[in-house]
Chains A and B, each alone.
Chain A
Amino acid sequence: MENAPKLTELLKAGNEKAIRTVYEEHRNGFLLFAKRYSLGDDEVLDVYQDAIIALCENARKGKLDDLQSSISTYLFSIGKFMIYHRLKKLGKQVTVNDFEQVEMEYELYDEEEQNSKLTLVRNYFSQLGEQCKKVLTLFYYEEKKLDEIQKLLGYTNKDVLKSQKSRCLKQLKDLINK
Chain B
Amino acid sequence: MNHEELIEKYFAKSLNNDEKSLFDQLMQTNETFREQVVYEEEVQRAITLNERQALKKKLQSFEIKKPKRNYTIWYAAASFAVMLGIGYWTFSNDVDTNAVYEEYYQSYPNVVAPTVRGENSTDIKSEAFYSYDSGDYAKALTLFSKLYDTEKEDYSLFYKSLSLMELKRFDEALSSFEQFDLQKNNGFTPYVKWYKALTLIKLEQKEKAVVLLKELANSTNPMQKMAKELVTELE
Contacts and interface: CB of A to CB of B under 8 A. Distances in A.
Interface centre among B47, B63, B191, B225 (most CB of A within 10 A): B47
A53 B62 contact: no
Contacts of B55: 19, 52-53, 56
Given A57-B51, A143-B11, A145-B12, A19 B43 contact: no
Given A121-B42, A130-B106, A140 B59 contact: no
B58 interface: yes
Interface stretch (B108-116, B164-172, B197-205): B108-116
A49 B59 contact: yes
Given A20-B62, A152-B222, A121 B46 contact: yes
A61 to B, nearest CB: 9
B47 A125 contact: yes
Interface string A144-176: 111000011111100110011000010011000
Interface residues of B, number: 38
B48 interface: yes
Interface in B183-228: 187, 191, 222, 225
B39 interface: yes
Contact of A137 (B11, B51, B112, B113): B51
Nearest to B50: A122
30 contacts: A19-B55, A23-B59, A23-B62, A45-B63, A50-B56, A53-B55, A109-B45, A117-B42, A121-B45, A122-B49, A125-B47, A130-B107, A131-B107, A139-B12, A140-B43, A140-B44, A141-B48, A143-B11, A143-B12, A144-B12, A145-B14, A153-B109, A154-B187, A154-B222, A155-B111, A156-B187, A159-B114, A163-B114, A163-B116, A172-B43
Interface of A: 13, 16, 19-20, 23-24, 45, 49-50, 52-53, 56-57, 107, 109, 112-113, 117-118, 121-122, 125-126, 130-131, 136-137, 139-141, 143-146, 151-156, 159-160, 163-164, 169, 172-173
Interface of B: 8, 11-14, 39-40, 42-52, 55-56, 58-60, 62-63, 106-107, 109-114, 116, 187, 191, 222, 225
Q: Ordered nearest first, which 4 A-B pairs have the shortest CB separation? A: A121-B46, A140-B44, A122-B46, A49-B59
